[in-house]
Structure 1
Amino acid sequence: MIVYPPIEITDARLIASSVLEPDVANGEQAWQSGQAYAAGTAVIRASVHKRYQALVAIAAGDTATPESSPLKWQDMGATNSWAMFERGRANATVGQAGESLMFRVKPGSRIDSVALVGMEASYATLRIYQGTTLQVERTISLTKRLVHNWFDYFFNDFTYQNDAIFSDLPMYEDAEVEVELVYGDVPPSLKALVVCRKVHLGKTMVDPTLSGANYSRIVRDQEYGDVSRIVQRRFVPTTRQKLLIEDSRDAEQIRNALIAIRSSPALFSGLDDDTNNPWFTSFLIYGLLKDWTLSAPGLRYGGLSLELEEL
C-alpha cells in the first residue's frame, strides 16, 4: 500500500486554470455587497473560493459577507474552479464541452507522484516544467472495455477509467505540474488532484475487505408503508487491510507518516500504482485513517492493520 499525502494548493500555488472564477458558463455568479437576494439564490466568493446559497431573503443594503453570515448563507463547498483541491470526491471541477480542462500548479517542494481521482475524460496528459523547459510529458488513454470472450469483444460497451496515478516522477526542484483532460464533446471533469511525495506503508496481504454505508433514504407512506420515493444520497466506502512491512527499518518512517496524516485526508492505494489491476479502484480510498495498529512479530519484519473511510 502507498499513501499519497496531498500538498495543499493555495492561491500562490495555482499558476493557471482553464476554469474561470466565477464560472459564468456553469451558472456561477459573484456575490455583490448590498444587493438583494431571494432565498435559494446561489453566489460565490472568489476570495475564499466558496459557493453559498441564501437560506433567507437578503435585503438590499446588507453588506455582511456570506462567510461571516452562516445564519443567512449556507456553505455549499468549493467553487467549480477549486472543487478538485477540496480533498475529497464530493464535488468535481467541470470544464466545457469540446474543450480541454487544463490547470497548472507549483507544489513548492519536490514531488514524485500526481494522482487524478474521479475523472470524466478520455485522455489525461501530465507535463512537468522547470521554468519554460518541458521536462516530462506523459499521456494515457482512459478508454477501457471488459472482455472475457469474443461476444464481449464485439458487443461490450467501452467505459472510462476514472482514476490514474503518475508515479516515480523525476523530483525536480521548483517544478510546475500541468494536467490536461480531454473528453471530446462531453465536459471533462476531475474530483480530486493529489500532488505529493508518496510513502510506501507495506505490502497488502490477502483478503482485504471493502464495505460501505448507503446514505440514501426510503420515504414511505405513513398509513400503508408503501414506498413513495427514494432519496438518493452518497455511498461511503470503508476498507480494512493488513500489510506486511518487509523491512523493520522502515517502521519508524511508516509510524511517523501515519501520525502526520491522523487528521488530514490522504489518498490510500492498496494496490500501489497498479491501475491495470481489476481491484485497483475498489481499494483506492481518498479519506481519513480511522484506526491503525503496528505490530512487530519478528525482528526483521513487521505488520500494519489499517481501517480507512472515504470522505
Structure 2
Amino acid sequence: MSQMIVVPGLEITPARLVQSSLPDMDYGAWNKDTAYKVGDRVTIDRINYESVAAHTNRNPVTDTVSPAAWFVVGWVNKYRMFNKQIGNTWAIGTFTSNPESIDLTIRPGKRVNSLGLVGVVASSVRVVVTVPGSPAPIYDKTFAMTKKKGVGWYQFFFGKFARRDNLAVLDLPPAGNADVRLIVSAPGRTAQIGMLILGWSVVIGTAVYDTTLGRKNYTTVKEEFDGSITMTKHGKRRLVNYQIVMIGDEVSSALQTLDELSDTAALYVGSSELDYTIIAGTYEDLSVGLPTYGMGTQNLSVRSLN
C-alpha cells in the first residue's frame, strides 16, 4: 500500500520552456507565394500541417474554402511531450524524440513539487533544480531507467535489461523561482518521452493491492474471404483501475480535486516504485463508497492520453 497521488499538469508554454535541445519547427514556415504540392508540410505556431491539394496562398490556419487544402498533422516534436490535444481531439501514440538525448529546462513561475514522465525510452533521467543566486543545484538526482533482469552472476553479465517506461519524481524542492532541468539520456539509441507532467501533487487516499491494469489495442483486423487477414496498426492506451481507501474527511477533498480533472491530463501515481501504476491521462470512471467506521473505498479508472 502507498499514498495515491494526483498531479494536475501545469501548461508548458514557450515562455516556460526556457531551454531545449530540440528545434522549434519540424518543417519550414508557411509562405503565401509558395506553390504547395500534395504531401508538402509546414509548421505554424508549434502545429504541423500537410497539404492535401495543389494550391497557392491558402493559409492552413485561416483558410475556409472547401474542400480543404490542409489537414492538421499535430504538434511539433518539441512540444509533443506536453500537448496531445488539438480542439477536442487527443492524439494517442505520439511522443517527443531525439537521437541520444533530450535536454530541456522549464521555468514554472510557481511552486511545483512533482514531475512525471511516461512512455520513456532512455537509459537514465537526470533532474536538476536550480534557483537564481545559488552556485549549486538545490536538487540533482539521476534515475536509472534500465536494470538487469533476474539475479545471479550469469544474469548480471549476460542477462537482458528490463526497461522502466514511467517515472514519478515526487520530492522536488518547492521553490517559487526555480528552474527544472531534465536530461533524458539514451546512448546509441533514440531518446523518447511520451508525456511530461509538472505540477503540485495532491494525496487523495491510499492505493491498495486490488488495483488492476489493462490495455486497449486499437489495431483493426479484417478477415478476407480466403481466411487471410489484413491488420492495420493503430495506437493503444493503458488503463489502470485504482482501488483506494480513504478516511472520512479525505472524501470531499478527493472529489474536489478530481472534479477539476475530468477532461484534462494529469499524472496519477499508485506507487512511485511500481512504474506500471504511473499513468498520465484522464479518469473516465469514479465510484466512491460512503465511509463506514471512518473509512471509505474508491474505484478510480484512469485511461492514458499518451
Using a 3 Å threshold, how does the CA distance of structure 1 residues 162 and 206 change in structure 2: closer, same or farther? Answer: closer
Q: CA deviation at 1:113?
A: 0.5
Q: Could you say which residue in structure 2 is the equivalent of 1:179?
A: 182
Residues 1:211 and 2:205 aligned together: no
Q: CA deviation at 1:74?
A: 1.4
The CA distance in 1 between the partners of 2:22 and 2:284, in whole Å, is 34
Q: Could you say which residue in structure 2 is the equivalent of 1:15?
A: 18
Q: Could you say which residue in structure 2 is the equivalent of 1:31?
A: 30
SS in 1 for 2:61: helix
Query: 1:115 is matched by which residue type in structure 2?
Result: G
Q: TM-score, normalised by structure 1?
A: 0.86
CA contact (8 A) 1:82 1:93 kept: yes
2:52 equivalent among 51, 55, 63: 55
Using a 3 Å threshold, how does the CA distance of structure 1 residues 51 and 132 change in structure 2: closer, same or farther? Answer: farther
Query: Which whole-Å deviations, capped at 9, do the CAs of 1:212-240 have from their partners, x for residues lacking one?
Result: 3221122333x32322x321111222232
Q: CA deviation at 1:160?
A: 2.9
CA contact (8 A) 2:129 2:179 kept: yes
Between stretches 208-217 and 164-173, larger displacement belongs to 208-217
Q: TM-score, normalised by structure 2?
A: 0.87
SS in 2 for 1:251: helix
Residues 1:138 and 2:137 aligned together: no
Query: 1:304 is matched by which residue type in structure 2?
Result: Q
User: 5+ residue gaps in structure 1?
Assistant: none
Identity of aligned residues (%): 24
Query: 2:59 is matched by which residue type in structure 1?
Result: T
CA contact (8 A) 2:118 2:279 kept: no
SS in 2 for 1:201: strand
2:226 equivalent among 218, 224, 227: 224
CA contact (8 A) 1:93 1:191 kept: yes
CA contact (8 A) 2:92 2:237 kept: no
Residues 1:127 and 2:128 aligned together: yes
Residues 1:256 and 2:253 aligned together: no
Query: Which whole-Å deviations, capped at 9, do the CAs of 1:94-119 have from their partners, x for residues lacking one?
Result: 2234xx31111111211111112212
Indicate the structure with greater strand content.
2
Query: Which whole-Å deviations, capped at 9, do the CAs of 1:119-154 have from their partners, x for residues lacking one?
Result: 221121111121253221111222212205665444
Q: CA deviation at 1:176?
A: 1.2
CA contact (8 A) 1:89 1:118 kept: no
Residues 1:241 and 2:242 aligned together: yes
Between stretches 250-259 and 28-37, larger displacement belongs to 28-37
Q: Could you say which residue in structure 1 is the equivalent of 2:87?
A: none
2:281 equivalent among 279, 287, 291: 287
Q: CA deviation at 1:184?
A: 1.4
Residues 67-106 of structure 1 correspond to what in structure 2 (within 5 A)? 67-69=61-63, 71-87=68-84, 90-97=93-100, 100-106=101-107
User: 5+ residue gaps in structure 2?
Assistant: 85-90
Using a 3 Å threshold, how does the CA distance of structure 1 residues 41 and 220 change in structure 2: closer, same or farther? Answer: farther
The CA distance in 2 between the partners of 1:126 and 1:258, in whole Å, is 28
